[in-house]
Amino acid sequence: MKIPGKPSYGVCPLCETAFPQSQLQAPLTSEPPASRRQIIKAIRAEHPAWTNRDGACQVCWESFRGVVRVLDFVKKFKAAGLRHSEPKDEAP
């Protein structure tokens, strides 16, 4: 959908909010390539049809960056051979 004389708008496929097209690509282009790959993978895990050409708004992008950080932490945690323990197991 194009509005003459206005910036072209797109809809963030992740939260279905309308943004100018440029704002849907900005988070992807400003992300360093290494973390961008990770974030794209995380988005695809939840939205299999999503491609980076669809773009994402800053809010969604940031939230998936948060997901990547948590997954990364869990991976390191498991790699260290540590198991999840319930708080009740902790010494008083």
Q: Rule CB under 5 A: which residues touch Zn ion? A: 12, 14-15, 57, 60
**DSSP 8-state secondary structure symbol assigned to residue 15:** T
Displacement of CA 43 from its chain's centroid (Å)? 5
Least separation in angstroms between residue 31's CB and Zn ion is: 15
CB closer to Zn ion out of 15 and 45: 15
CB closer to Zn ion out of 8 and 75: 8
Least separation in angstroms between residue 13's CB and Zn ion is: 8
CB closer to Zn ion out of 29 and 75: 29
Q: Cα–Cα distances in Å, from 43 out to 11, 83, 86, 90?
A: 16, 27, 29, 35
Least separation in angstroms between residue 49's CB and Zn ion is: 15
Tell me the one-letter amino acid at 48.
P
Instruction: Give the β-pairing of 9-11 and 18-20.
Output: antiparallel
